[in-house]
Amino acid sequence: MNKIDPNKLPRHIAIIMDGNGRWAKSHTFGRITGHKQGAKAVRVVVTACRKIGIDVLTLYAFSMENWFRPKEEVLSLMNLLKEYLEKEEDEMMEQGIRLTAVGKLDSLDKKVLEQLHNTMKKTSKNTKMVLNLALSYGGREEIAMAARHILMDGLSGKIKPGDINEQTVEQYLYTKDLPDPDLLIRTGGEWRISNFLLYQMAYTEFYFTKTLWPDFGEEELLEAITQFQRRERRFGRISEQLR
């Protein structure tokens, strides 16, 4: 904890929580057990981020493409999500965490959606940290959705083509109220972004690790933040311009 500089914290950390299935396989468990273990890691990392003082934590919990997994796995993931929200609501209240969600939420099962809305409503006044879940989320879907809504507002005369700039586009994304991620962590040893926050990660710093998600904890989170703090974010400039 004292390795990290409190004045140089990433404001927004995004995590691709990958490797539950392989974790289960390596322990000769079924995939669902891997997801259950993954939910425990979520608890640990959320609490750690809150303690460190991170403003926003976005967790990629279910992608658009994950709908194509075997039916039983999708169903279990949805049940686990609902269970997680039910169980963690009190803890979120205690820790001052506000829950938000991004993605094509209306594709979620009615019961899950209901629970999600309840938890979001209940935690809406909390101010210590935003826990943002990416659910039924796809970066390309998000951009297509934004384009659709921009066109609709254009047709109704609310905006003109000449007014559309980067800030306008941002206002139409699911993440409109959130800062861009400063740090992306992907566990599970894959070096790809799997359709996650494509627009928002233009200048995000990446940390990839082979650690499987259920094995990821506070120690490696601190390591990722330490590495982030050692990097120079130039945003196209040269070093000398940054001082």
> Smallest distance, Å, CB 63 to Mg ion?
9
* Residue 145 identity: M
- DSSP letter (8 states) at residue 65: G
> Smallest distance, Å, CB 188 to Mg ion?
6
> Smallest distance, Å, CB 171 to Mg ion?
32
Residues 43/17, Cβ–Cβ less than 8 Å? no
Distance CA 61, CA 65 (A): 12
For residue 66, indicate whether it is catalytic.
yes
Nearer to ligand IPE, 33 or 66 (CB): 66
Partner interacting with residue 54 (select from Mg ion, ligand IPE, none; CB below 5-8 Å by kind): none
Q: Given the residues 2, 5, 7, 18, select the one marked as catalytic.
A: 18
> Smallest distance, Å, CB 188 to ligand IPE?
5
Q: Is 122 exposed, middle or buried (0-12, 13-18, 19+ CB in 10 A)?
A: middle
Distance CA 38, CA 213 (A): 6
Q: 3-state class of 176 per DSSP?
A: coil
Nearer to ligand IPE, 150 or 212 (CB): 212
Nearer to Mg ion, 18 or 182 (CB): 18
Compute CA distances 105 → 137, 160, 205, whole Å. 8, 29, 27
Q: Name the closest residue to Mg ion (Cβ).
A: 18
Nearer to ligand IPE, 150 or 184 (CB): 184
> Smallest distance, Å, CB 18 to Mg ion?
4
Q: Point out which residues bind ligand IPE (CB under 6 A).
A: 16-22, 60-63, 65-66, 77, 188, 190, 192, 194
Nearer to Mg ion, 36 or 98 (CB): 36
Q: Which residues, other chains included, contact 208 with Cβ-Cβ below 8 Å and sequence gap of 6+?
A: 185, 186, 189, 190, 191
Binding map of Mg ion across residues 10-39, x = CB under 5 A, - = no contact: --------x---------------------
Compute CA distances 57 → 13, 22, 159, whole Å. 5, 24, 32
Total chain residues near Mg ion (CB under 5 A): 1
Which two three-digit tokens encode residue 58? 């976005």
Picking from 120, 115, 118, 123, the residue whose alpha carbon sits closest to that of residue 94 is 123
Partner interacting with residue 163 (select from Mg ion, ligand IPE, none; CB below 5-8 Å by kind): none
Partner interacting with residue 104 (select from Mg ion, ligand IPE, none; CB below 5-8 Å by kind): none
For residue 5, indicate whether it is catalytic.
no
- Active-site annotation, residues: 18, 66
Binding site for Mg ion (CB under 5 A): 18
